[in-house]
Amino acid sequence: MTMLQDRLAQLQQAVAEREAQQLMRQPVTVEHYNGRLITIDGQPFLNFSGNDYLGLATAPEVLQAYADGALKLGAGSSGSPMVTGQHAIHRQLTETLSDWLGVERVLLFSSGFAANQAMLHTLAVKQDTLLLDKLSHASLIDGALHSDARMKRFAHNNMSALARLLEQEPQSMVVTEGVFSMDGDCPDLAALRSLCLQHQVPLLLDDAHGLGVKGSEGQGSGPAQGVANSELFCLMANFGKALGVAGAFLGASKTVIDYIEQFGRHYIYSTALSPATCAAVLKSIDLCRKQHWRRDKLYNNIKKFRILAADLPIMNSDTAIQGMVLGSSEQAVNASKQLKKAGIWATAIRPPTVPAGSARLRITLSSQHSDEDIALLVQQLRLLLL
């Protein structure tokens, strides 16, 4: 066998092992999407798997803004923001974000993954220890691993575990999420802020699942818990979840953002967001701030679901992300298949995305679900467990 053949054989073996462990990931192709319903292989399903929590991905005003933005401003930005990729609409979007979220400056990124990489890779120095919540998203873990700093993880949402680490590691940065993507639970941000202040260390927050849905005008998890976004050392959130579009940003003080603008390689060496996308995000923010009914409906749906499913093994979450841990990957995959037969799409989440033995159904609720949709979901979940 040549070295090249050997390399290919290794790749094949890794995929075969994954298959044998029932851990193969297979993207599905959605043929039609309207938020509440998705069509896959010609069959419509009630969608309980997306992150379009407020139904903004198909709001007619957002679609119109996208189309107008493309016609007037272009489908692509044509370059890095440092060359000719920053257009007037990018400035408008960063200023709108600063105003909405109460942060001094904002930088735009093409994805939350890139923004998290930039945040940790650029801000952490060699002498730092990055202290990450155990359940942090892969983009934060990779950002920390690629930085010059050391990484340590604290038990999920556990303030005493973090306090102990802070005693041992005086030069650290604390990194957590506003709403955890697989469990749907939230840290006590006021307690975290106090702990970080006490130790004089920066607090960095990924609020991918909090922006838009938390806070009176959707300003996110911090404001919803009485912590101003300006009290964070750096905030990351993206536009592809509750805002229903794509892209992301980092928001912080002028000093922090000026630094990332100069030294953040993910920002400098990457094509800026498309102007059409910026136009759509601006419209989405506008609707998100004004149309309180979207959040009200979402929270009513969450409440309804939790009342109906109170006797089922659902995780403790008051957010749009509701998990039902089933144990093995096989059990989670079978449950997801059974639900599909009843016309319900709820994705099975397996290791390594979640810890071994905690494979689950990740159910996400949106403002677009009706009472009947939720009742049907709970009825089918109950059948699964009988």
Ligand X SMILES: Cc1ncc(COP(=O)(O)O)c(C=O)c1O
Residues engaged in binding ligand X (CB under 6 A): 111-113, 116, 137, 139, 177, 181, 206, 208, 238, 240, 248
Least distance from C-beta 109 to ligand X, angstroms?
8
Tokens of 14: 């890794």
Q: Which residue is nearest to ligand X (CB)?
A: 112
The partner residues of 205 in beta bridges, in order of sequence, read: 176, 235
Beta bridge partner(s), residue 320: none
From the number of C-beta atoms within 10 Å of its C-beta (0-12, 13-18, 19+), residue 258 rates as middle
Residue type, 79: G
Check if 214 is active-site. Answer: no
CB closer to ligand X out of 143 and 275: 143
Q: Is 206 a catalytic residue?
A: yes
Q: Which residue among 87, 90, 121, 137 is the active-site one? A: 137
- Integer Cα distance of 351 and 347 in angstroms: 13
Give yes or no: 199 in active site: no
Contact (Cβ atoms closer than 8 angstroms) between residue 197 and residue 153:
no
Considering the complex, what minimum distance in angstroms separates the CB of residue 213 from ligand X?
13
Catalytic residue among 87, 241, 283, 369: 241
Residue 5 burial by CB count (10 A; 0-12/13-18/19+): exposed, middle or buried? exposed
Residue 206 CB, nearest approach to ligand X (Å): 5
Nearer to ligand X, 113 or 267 (CB): 113
Nearest residue to 182 (alpha-carbon basis) of 308, 296, 49, 300: 49
What CA–CA distance (Å, rounded) separates 238 from 46? Answer: 25
C-alpha span between 169 and 252 (Å, rounded): 24
Q: How far is the CB of 31 from ligand X (least distance, A)?
A: 22
Cβ of residue 41: shortest distance to ligand X, in angstroms? Answer: 24
Q: How far is the CB of 207 from ligand X (least distance, A)?
A: 8
Q: Which is nearer to ligand X, 120 or 378 (CB)?
A: 120
The position carrying tokens 């910026």 is: 278
Which C-beta is closer to ligand X: that of 265 or that of 337?
Answer: 265
**177 catalytic per annotation:** yes
Q: Are 117 and 146 spatial neighbours (Cβ–Cβ below 8 Å)? A: yes
Q: Which is nearer to ligand X, 114 or 282 (CB)?
A: 114
50 or 55, CB closer to ligand X? 50
Instruction: Return d(Cα 339, Cα 84) in angstroms, integer.
Output: 49
User: Is 241 annotated in the active site?
Assistant: yes
Q: Which two tokens stand for residue 68?
A: 């107008």
Active site residues per annotation: 51, 137, 177, 181, 206, 209, 241
